[in-house]
Amino acid sequence: MKHLRKELWFNIPGRRGFVNITGEVEDLIQQSGVMNGLVLVNAMHITASVFINDDEGGLLHDYEEWLEKLAPFNASGDVYHHNRTGEDNADAHMKRQIMGREVVVAITDGRLDFGPWEQIFYGEFDGKRRKRVLVKIIGE
């Protein structure tokens, strides 16, 4: 069995943002030499996410607004008990919970076995610092 483990690093300049990382994952699959197997892509931080969806600007904008309605940013402890500890990122933890920690995608004939329009994204909900994503590829 072949395998590859790599980390992708991000430093989103704002508090929130989305980055399409499909190309980086595809490059790592090629490096691994795996023709048939699985790739795990997971955020290694509790205020970031990895998810699959369409790379369409309107949809990403809608995610931004929807997440803010579900878990609005509020740095004070008025809304979130977590922020009473001196943190200001309780909303980021909740946004990550909604969007998910990781994705697992099949690799078939050396390529991501995707449906139409599927892309892999890194979602940042408490940015302005370096964070990493683990990519683990296994297979034959």
* Distance in angstroms (rounded) separating the CA atoms of residues 108 and 26: 12
Tokens encoding 77 = 């402890």
Q: Provide the H-helix boundaries in 16-78.
A: 22-32, 57-70
Tokens encoding 139 = 């297979």
Question: Global pTM?
Answer: 0.96
* Distance in angstroms (rounded) separating the CA atoms of residues 19 and 80: 27
CATH architecture, domain 2-139? Sandwich (2.60)
Nearest to 131 by CA among 7, 3, 11, 25: 11
Query: What pLDDT tens digit does each residue of the chain (140 aa) get?
Result: 999 999 999 999 999 999 999 999 999 999 999 999 999 999 999 999 999 999 999 999 999 999 999 999 998 888 899 999 999 999 999 999 999 999 999 999 999 999 999 999 999 999 999 999 999 999 99
- Residue 76 pLDDT: 86
Q: Which amino acid makes up residue 50?
A: V
The upper half-sphere exposure of residue 57, i.e. CA atoms within 13 Å in the direction of its Cβ, equals 0
* Distance in angstroms (rounded) separating the CA atoms of residues 91 and 94: 5
Boundaries of every domain in the chain: 2-139
* Distance in angstroms (rounded) separating the CA atoms of residues 109 and 97: 32
